[in-house]
Structure 1
Amino acid sequence: MPVAGQIMHRGAECINKTETLTRAAEMMNRLGVGALPVCEDDGRMCGIITDRDIVVKCVAEGRNPSETECTELCQGTPQWIDVNADVSEVLDRMERHQIKRLPVIENKTLVGMISERDIAQHLNEHQIAEFAERVYATA
């Protein structure tokens, strides 16, 4: 079975927690992604911001994304996985926390991101269906 480092999308970038949501949206657009890890000044991950977060938690609430910092939308403890973790661990983490994207860390540094697409390319149909059921299940 493959490990996280073999299925991840390389080249993930962090955005500093004090950057604005406008800057986050610009980065997402440039990178062609829908989520960015949010990092402290020392590079330690403190959350994830998604394109949906920007729309639903900022724009739809009448807030200005040019004046709202990424840290304002980050909630809870960010989830991540080690680059050498088995895919079964990746699935378990994503299913348990009902998350669709998972940062991959090597030596305390962000090295990639695993998305639903990455998972789908490495599972059989039954595993994909089980993954989708667990991640999208409503509590």
Structure 2
Amino acid sequence: MTFQESVGSCFRQYATFTGRASRSEFWWFWVFTLLVDVAAFIVSATLIGGSVTAVGGADGMSWFVATQGWLPGLVHLALFLPSLAVAIRRLHDVGRSGWWFLILFVPFGFFVLLFWWVQPSERMANRFGPPPA
């Protein structure tokens, strides 16, 4: 699946938590989300009123903190459901229940999810449906 097909598929299935998502669909949408987040942060920090502020530390060192405007929050809100949906459909593709996503909230749970997300798809139909095209 190409980049454009993956992004289109994820937005067509905006809040669809049933079915399966291929490895390429999941990772291309992840790249899209990262690019949009970075773009929103840059636009917000430079054009819409965000700022970069020097904060003095106790040791005399200065740290620079970038404050964001409202745009990155709006982008996160818009991409939350399709990101969650494709993550759960990806778990379905490797034969796991979508409820396993909740392991993200325990220490090192992200690494378990990452392991499953990089696994190849099950070749045959499973309880979540036929393999993705």
TM exceeding 0.5 = no
Q: TM-score under structure 1 normalisation?
A: 0.27
Normalized per residue, the structure richer in strand is 1
In terms of Rg, which structure is larger?
2
Normalized per residue, the structure richer in helix is 2
Q: TM-score under structure 2 normalisation?
A: 0.27
